[in-house]
């Protein structure tokens, strides 16, 4: 599986260590089509005939969350961490520091998805999540076996 960032990869490790609490999870699930786009058609008069010309006024807008989780119904583990929609939890992974300010765009998409589909997408900052819960073993240690400085204050499962 190809991930967009290291944080997404680390989150997938976190999900793998919670497999007893999860029925299934998927990275980059089916996208939400938020806007179909807008095409304007007008007639142009040529020398001998009229011709219809179409011009795209606004491009379509599609949003894909990073993860969808289907947790076990009876488990309480996820209730304090995420807002659940029916049987699914939708996740968007964002970094602690967002150099390109894409968090701003996510908040617009989050509102749009909620208004159009009634689905709440949770924003997750991996460092904060690992401090609240645990850090997966795959990212807690460096290749030489020493503890990773990024996650040294996080507890192991």
65 in Cβ contact with 29 (< 8 Å):
yes
What was the pLDDT predicted at 109?
Answer: 96
| CA nearest neighbour of 95 among 139, 53, 125, 51 | 125
What was the pLDDT predicted at 152?
Answer: 85
What was the pLDDT predicted at 73?
Answer: 65
Question: What distance in Å separates the CA atoms of residue 136 and residue 69, rounded to the nearest whole number?
Answer: 17
What was the pLDDT predicted at 31?
Answer: 96
* Residues of the chain with confidence (pLDDT) below 50: none
User: What pLDDT, in 10s, does the model give residues 33-77?
Assistant: 999 999 999 999 998 999 999 999 999 999 999 999 988 766 666
110 in Cβ contact with 91 (< 8 Å):
no
What was the pLDDT predicted at 77?
Answer: 67
Tokens encoding 143: 């290749």
> Residue 54 phi/psi, 5° resolution?
-105, 135
């Amino acid at each position: 599986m190809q991930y967009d960032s290291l944080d997404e990869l680390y989150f997938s490790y976190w999900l793998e260590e919670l497999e007893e609490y999860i029925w299934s999870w998927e990275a980059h699930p089916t996208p939400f089509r938020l806007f179909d786009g807008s095409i304007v058609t007008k007639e142009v008069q040529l020398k001998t005939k009229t011709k219809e010309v179409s011009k795209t006024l606004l491009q379509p807008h599609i949003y894909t969350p990073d993860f969808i989780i289907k947790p076990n119904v009876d488990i309480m583990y996820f209730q304090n961490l995420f807002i659940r929609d029916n049987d699914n939890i939708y996740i968007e992974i964002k970094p602690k520091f967002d150099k390109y300010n894409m968090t701003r765009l996510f908040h617009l998409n989050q509102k749009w998805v909620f208004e159009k589909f009634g689905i709440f997408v949770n924003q997750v900052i991996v460092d904060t999540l690992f401090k609240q819960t645990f850090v997966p073993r795959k990212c807690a240690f460096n290749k030489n076996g020493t503890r990773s400085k990024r996650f040294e204050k996080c507890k192991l499962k």
